[in-house]
Structure 1
Amino acid sequence: MSAPRPHFTLSGLAQGARAALPAFPGFIVFSMAFGTAAAQKGLSLGEALGLSAFVYAGASQMVGLEVWQRVWSPTTILTIMTVTAVVNARMILLGATLQPWLKNEPKARSALNLFLVTEAGWLIGTRYYNEGGRNTGMLLGLGTTLWLLWLVSTLIGYFAGALVPEPRRFGLDLVMPIFFSVMLVPLWKGARPALPWLVAGLVSLIVHALVPGYFFIIAGALAGVIAGMLLE
């Protein structure tokens, strides 16, 4: 029996909001850590919330803080743009995997869905899709819920900054990697399909050790894609 065609319903929004619940702990802790770090870096509340609202990428936001300047020059602007683009380049691959699901959606709704995509949301949404779900409202409800949570938690973290002087000292930077690892477990389909994961991870580690900067993210992603193509 063939899977239903992609469709959008309001009930899917509520389903997506419920599906987002497992991601709440990781999102809350990570975004609070960013809010705390942003406050300690000297960003205003508007700047911190603006980064969470429009960049909406924890790794990029944290990396961006490392090169943040109080007085901007064309060089520093180009640097932070480049760093953000490199770190977020992985979203190109995530977006491509959603094409079969969103290809018949109105362009405005597709754009909103793709803006709201995160790794956690992609993992939850992909699992739903692989199990036969086709309601695009679920993806939108999932993404919107996590985005709102991200903003609220950034706000809380910003004002709590004085209470946690060193977020990394408490291992807050490990919450999201651990969450991603746990979420990958349901996607396990055997050793052979997992080989691209292994290749991507090894290439990322090697490039990270040999090449300064953030090129290891792109190198790992491309290596995983190539490995997957060769296996097929």
Structure 2
Amino acid sequence: MTSSPEPLPKEARAPVTWRGMILGVRKISVVLPGIIVFAVAFGAAAAAKGLSLLETVVMSAIVYAGVAQLVAMELWRPEWTWGAIAGLAAVTATVNARMVLQGASLQLWFARFPRALNALHLFFFTDANWLVGTRYHAEGGRDLGVLIGGGLLLWVVWVLATVPGYLLGSLVSDPRRYGIDLVMPIFFAAMIVPLWRGRRAARPWLVAGIVALVTAKLVDGYAFIIVGALSGAVAGAFLDDAA
């Protein structure tokens, strides 16, 4: 008599459903105003730098890097050298390196799905997706459709909102002038609050924040992002070992 196969663990049965995608759209909708403003700002900055409307829209659709696109516009120049290109690549890579750690934090969830599907949805993976996904997964959610639906909506809105930004020109080319640059940090802070796990778990956040602020004061550029993230990760590792 053969024994029946053991049921798959809950993680192994993780689904991708339309219901999950709709839930992802609902969860991500709260950040859309900030995304629209940033996309408009990028479009305006691109127009001021002399890019065509087609080039601007294609950059938003293919590069799709949010803050890194705004950083690229700050460093944009009418004539390029190989050194300038390498410098731009290094800076944008530094800004986007946080996505490696964000993706790794959800690896146990993603690992249950085919690589092709992960490659597809990770193209649409953003800071907002990570925050929504982290909270959703911590609450017991396993439907990857949440990330896919939210990511697709953000991408569509980002690309479409680039167009009016370009047409408006320099009206909002500097988001800091209107305090627009505070929209996303406020959203991140609000989303992180439910992830609170006590004072001990908050210590790596505190270390990362302090180190990032000090680095930003002492070193020009965007190195503070990587230094802060690595400091928080190291602090978290030592705290885990000491536990």
Whether the TM-score (by the shorter chain) exceeds 0.5 is yes
The percent of aligned pairs where both chains have the same amino acid is: 52
Q: Is the 8 A contact 1:4 1:134 kept in 2?
A: no
2:51 aligns to what SS in structure 1? coil
Deviations 1:162-195 (CA, angstroms, capped at 9, x unpaired): 5446543211222211221222112122221111
| Map of 1:52 onto structure 2 | 60
The letter of the residue matching 2:140 is G
Instruction: Select the residue among 185, 191, 208 that pairs with 1:183.
Output: 191
Identify the range of structure 1 (16-25 vs 134-143) with the bigger mean alpha-carbon deviation: 16-25
The letter of the residue matching 2:102 is L
CA shift for structure 1 position 24: 0.9
Instruction: Select the residue among 191, 196, 207 that pairs with 2:204.
Output: 196
Q: Is the 8 A contact 1:30 1:175 kept in 2?
A: no
CA shift for structure 1 position 220: 0.4
**Structure 2, gaps ≥5 residues long:** 1-9
The letter of the residue matching 1:194 is A
The letter of the residue matching 1:205 is L
Alignment of 1:49-88 (within 5 A): 49-88=57-96
Instruction: Select the residue among 160, 166, 175 that pairs with 1:158.
Output: 166
| Map of 2:150 onto structure 1 | 142
CA shift for structure 1 position 54: 2.4
- How far, CA to CA, are the matches of 2:17 and 2:173 in structure 1? 45
Identify the range of structure 1 (3-12 vs 124-133) with the bigger mean alpha-carbon deviation: 3-12
| Map of 1:19 onto structure 2 | 27
Identify the range of structure 1 (3-12 vs 118-127) with the bigger mean alpha-carbon deviation: 3-12
The letter of the residue matching 2:82 is P
Instruction: Select the residue among 113, 123, 129 that pairs with 2:131.
Output: 123
- 1:215 paired with 2:223, answer yes
CA shift for structure 1 position 147: 0.9
The letter of the residue matching 2:48 is Q
What TM-score does the superposition give when structure 1 sets the normalisation length?
Answer: 0.93
- How far, CA to CA, are the matches of 2:68 and 2:114 in structure 1? 29
Deviations 1:124-165 (CA, angstroms, capped at 9, x unpaired): 111111111101111111111111111111112111225446
Q: Is the 8 A contact 2:98 2:226 kept in 1?
A: yes
The count of residues paired between Structure 1 and Structure 2 equals 232
- How far, CA to CA, are the matches of 1:173 and 1:189 in structure 2? 28
- How far, CA to CA, are the matches of 1:134 and 1:165 in structure 2? 40
| Map of 2:4 onto structure 1 | none
Q: What root-mean-square deviation, in Å, do the aligned CA atoms of Structure 1 and Structure 2 show?
A: 1.9
- 1:133 paired with 2:144, answer no
Identify the range of structure 1 (134-143 vs 40-49) with the bigger mean alpha-carbon deviation: 40-49
- How far, CA to CA, are the matches of 2:174 and 2:145 in structure 1? 39
